[in-house]
Amino acid sequence: MQRPPPNFSSVTAAAARLDGVAHRTPVLTSSSLNKRYGAEFFFKCENFQRMGAFKFRGGYNALASIPVAERAAGVVAYSSGNHAQAIALSAQMLAMPAVIVMPEDAPALKLAATRGYGAEVVLYNRYTQDRSEISLGIAKERGARLIPPYDHPDVIAGQGTASLELFEQVNELDMLFICLGGGGLLAGGLLAAAALNPACAVYGVEPEAGNDGQQSFRKGEIVSIPTPKTIADGAQTQFLGELTFPIIKSYARDILSVSDDDLIQSMRFFFERMKMVVEPTGCLSLAGALHLGEKLKGKRVGILISGGNVDSETFCRLLASSSSTRWHEL
Ligand SMILES: *Cc1c(COP(=O)(O)O)cnc(C)c1O
């Protein structure tokens, strides 16, 4: 059954489902950054969302949209990252069984966190086995729903509520920067922006090594690339979705890309200046915005921080790997 693509009313319906369930995350500012760029920055802090990233919004919205009578068969998801935790937590909250298919070499912490939410973890070998085949097999066998990480109308609508809230919290923006992997967060944000603040220029930001979205946007069709090597592990996607791409193509102003070193600089800024831990993928939006430099002058700029899930060893190693004095002059 082909479902219609999501629209703005799907986003407002998702917001109603998430009301009182997801955190209404704060919007923070930095006067030193504002001064340096002559702009007004508004940081939407999804690093403070439940399970540490915006993915809870889409995951919960997708599960809460399943009719109650069909929930007992449960859900299946494949992910080694935030989507797995989002589905595991949402399933626990809705008393649904969940199976998460994860690589057997996934970090022990992530396996433990997923099991901690009560999900059953099925391991696979990422070099020899196909995770989507395994997941489809489990879904078929149990009659469970497979919830993909971005290319699903309820997931996109749920992710859109992060931007919807930001517009409610700060009113009009001139520019909005959104971290981009498969495009769920960006497509949802574009639906909100097009309805509430159509003059706002919305940009997706990807890692340089994985700029399939930028290539697709420029070419006008979905371009697929090999799994990119980048510290932005939430944006190692190979292609945009069949649902996310048309929305991005219609409404995005542009897709920008940034280097891993740019991400580390932004991570350092968040830590030193704003006292926040932001995961590398969550730094894409700020790093992309800062690339526009002078163009930010006089503008009201929204920065969607997508998540904060990074373990302390990785965090310390990344900060130590790149010496920077960029923020010391602020
Ligand atoms: C999944 C994820 C992204 C990318 O989101 P898409 O909807 O796939 O574009 C960005 N940041 C974090 C922290 C994520 O977990």
- Is residue 282 within 6 Å of ligand 1 at its C-beta? yes
pLDDT in tens, 81-93: 899 999 999 999 9
The pLDDT tens digits for 204-257 are 999 999 999 999 999 999 999 998 999 999 999 999 999 999 999 999 999 999
| Residue 199 CA: distances (Å) to CA of 38, 124, 175, 186, 323 | 20, 46, 9, 16, 38
Residue 58 Cα: closest atom of ligand 1: 7
Biggest CA pair distance of the chain: 59
Q: How far is the CA of 11 from the centre of ligand 1 (A)?
A: 17
Model confidence at 126: pLDDT above 90: no
**pLDDT higher than 60, residue 186:** yes
Closest CA to 25 of 61, 55, 50, 60: 50
Which of 205, 66, 50, 179 lies closest to 117 in space, CA to CA? 50
Give the chain's mean pLDDT: 95
Distance from residue 197's CA to the centre of ligand 1 (Å): 23
pLDDT band at 80 (very low <50, low <70, confident <90, very high): confident
Binned at pLDDT 50, 70 and 90, residue 328 comes out as low
pLDDT above 90 for 2: no
